[in-house]
Structure 1
């Protein structure tokens, strides 16, 4: 038989990476190809010098890759490579795994530095139009190092299934699911045939978990570092619908989103199993917020009752504060939901994001320590209930989150006094202002011009 062929050159290189010398690799391949051979035959067939054969065979025998046969003349035969080399692979595989983790961690550090650098300039980024939102989703999915989490409503599922963005979003997501952990949760409010058909189709392409959790926007969380909120909405001016998104990288908000997804993982069920139940309308609607909405309704009734009986406006605000305190206690004790951050500023940023997540309303909350003024600005195409509340100059947004805000402020040790509620219909801006004090102030001081 001729010397080793060119085709066997890569095999020699591979064996050398396991730790064999070039001569040892050539001898082992020759024995595998030809069966037991004498030293003279090995020399002829492998091209290895005779003086190098004996030490090479001894080393191969030590590795248990060859067996030396006690014959005259001495012969050697190759042992099967799978078990022996597989053992040699284990430390290499562990090292590769460790190196991959190091690359992921280095990428995370790099991305985190970019996020921090950008965060110094912006609190959030607004993304308008369906195409730009889809592009941002694809970009986030591609950048993921460990995990991508989605919580999708009907409009979120529709965007992922849109053929226009198949390569950019869905195909990329399916491809990345082999490399990173992809968690997709869905929560519907529309149980029509079309919505369920889309959920069924998405469940065939990805592992989708169903959870009965009411949100008014879709969520996409990547590696616990960036949170994209997106939804399809109608513009108040021309009633045209389009997608809009907000990209957040604020630590406390993102951390809360992480805890939310951990909670969803415990409460969800495979969507494929739930489809028959959803089609039968066996699930109740929005159970998680029912208690909160009940408390708000009670506060509204009591406030209206007092107003009809000529009570002071201040008393109605006290009712809202009491309801907020009770709601915060309920969420803490019953739902184990911790809403108090390390600082007031951090907590207010979290609550502002809640207005977007749950009510679909962009809200900015700012606190000026020097003047002790807390300003809440609601801007944009307000839902009907928000517009009605703004017209009536309610002292708090018509949402459980507004009540939670009052409860949070009291938890931080502030007395809260409502100063202002004004609505600019032309600009679509509702401004609410409060004074926060540690000690009570005289009424005339509270109501003095700002």
Structure 2
């Protein structure tokens, strides 16, 4: 109701259904009143009628994959992230969401959403290709919820730590992170590898908010060598369980990517401290970063041998 200039919606199949069944008249009204409504969603043969209906009243663009969360960003002043999440323990699902108007969080989310919009394609064009049989649906059927899955990442991290112990699990997770960094970098619309670590950490924080629905702040103090990761409003049960268990790596594919990213910057990492504040719903992890030791040159090896 407060929107004056722009509403950006990022919708998965579940969010698209909800919008059309509950908010279609409102979208039509906003469009009639001159408010720009922009929708990012994935077009499939199953969703063709829904997308076509929505495209009649607002701008709709297609992305090849969708995040787990649905996002509503209003005038770059406030946003809502929501999704249905399956319970880890027990059956059924619950609707979880997060609302915020915090400027720093908004800036991070707007950065990712705009990047996704710039990399997307006009939905009506994709519809025309599907209707004429010129575009195989397999090209459109990649589902990021299977790839960017917090529940799966939580189970992987927990199992490895319990089975191998922390030191061995950490080395394996870092190797996984290096491979994921390369794979994901080819699929994202934003660059993960930046000139400086601080900029890269800002991008990771934005991706955690966009895909996991958890506000994250990452800051690296070069003087102390301490990287601080702060997670607030833990609406995701995986994050809360990980905080309670005291896991060294936060339960998201982005936690593994962070390990790979630090390796790219030739930094080794070890956990310095971690504190979970259940009353504040906040989890803070601190890591100690240090430069990797370069392999010895032949001259240095020879000198060391002579000394021994």
User: TM-score range, shorter-chain basis?
Assistant: 0.5 to 0.7
Match of 2:211 in 1: 358
Q: How many residues align?
A: 275
* Higher RCO (Cα < 8 Å, 6 or more apart): 2
CA offsets 1:340-399 (integer angstroms, 9 cap, x no match): 223222221121111111011111212222211111111214322222222222111111
SS at match of 1:407: helix
- The residue aligned with 1:231 is 81
- Aligned partner of 1:413 in structure 2 is 266
Equivalent residues of 1:299, 1:320 under 8 A apart: no
**Superposition pairs of residues 32-431 of structure 1, within 5 angstroms:** 134-135=1-2, 138-141=3-6, 150-153=9-12, 154-155=14-15, 166=26, 170-174=28-32, 176=34, 183-187=38-42, 201-215=53-67, 216-218=69-71, 220=73, 229-232=79-82, 244-246=99-101, 256-265=112-121, 270=126, 287-288=143-144, 290-291=146-147, 300=156, 304=159, 307-308=162-163, 311-333=164-186, 338-431=191-284
Does structure 1 retain, via aligned residues, the 8 Å contact 2:233–2:282?
yes
1:185 and 1:211 in contact (8 A); partners too? yes
1:402-423 CA distances to partner (integer Å, 9 max, x unpaired)? 1111111221221111223332
Question: Partners of 1:347 and 1:439 in 2: how far apart?
Answer: 19
Query: Is contact 2:5-2:34 (8 Å) kept?
Result: no
The root-mean-square deviation of aligned C-alpha atoms, in Å, is 4.5
Distance 2:24 2:121 in 1: 30
CA 1:241–1:411: 2 relative to 1, 3 Å? closer
State how far apart, in whole Å, the 2-side matches of 1:188 and 1:432 are: 39
371 and 242 in structure 1: CA distance in 2 versus 1, 3 angstrom threshold: closer
CA contact (8 A) 1:386 1:397 kept: yes
Deviation at 1:243, TM superposition (A): 6.2
2: CA distance, partners of 1:230 / 1:430: 21
1:324 CA drift (Å) = 1.0
Q: Within 1, Cα distance between the matches of 2:282 and 2:108? A: 26
1:264, distance to aligned residue in structure 2 (A): 1.7
Partner of 2:296: none
TM-score by length of 1: 0.49
CA 1:341–1:149 in 2, change beyond 3 Å: closer, same or farther? farther
1:428 deviation in Å? 1.8
Identify the structure with the greater helix proportion.
Answer: 1
Taking a change above 3 Å as real, the CA distance of residues 384 and 287 of structure 1, as seen in their structure-2 partners, is same
Question: 5+ unaligned residues in a row in structure 2: which ranges?
Answer: 85-93, 294-308
